[in-house]
Amino acid sequence: MGVTLSNQDGVLTAALTGDIDHHTARELRLAIDEVIERDKPGLLLLDFQGVDFMDSSGIGLVMGRYKVMQQNGGEVEVTHVPKYISRVFKLSGLEQLGVMEKKARPQKRNTEEEADNETR
pLDDT score recorded for residue 105? 30
Helix (H, G, I), strand (E, B) or coil at 41: coil
pLDDT score recorded for residue 111? 41
Residues with pLDDT less than 50, the chain: 104-120
pLDDT score recorded for residue 1? 62
Q: Phi then psi for 30, rounded to 5 degrees? A: -65, -45
pLDDT score recorded for residue 44? 97
CA torsion angle 83 56 99 18 (round to 10): -60
CA torsion angle 19 20 25 31 (round to 10): 70
Helix (H, G, I), strand (E, B) or coil at 24: coil
pTM: 0.80
Please report the domains of the chain, with CATH numbers, ordered by start residue.
2-101 (3.30.750.24)
Q: What is the C-alpha separation between 75 and 69, in angstroms, rounded?
A: 6
pLDDT score recorded for residue 43? 96
Q: Which residues pair with 53 in a beta bridge?
A: 19
pLDDT score recorded for residue 109? 39
Inter-CA distances, 36 with 4, 10, 28, 31, 45, Å? 14, 10, 12, 9, 11
pLDDT score recorded for residue 100? 80
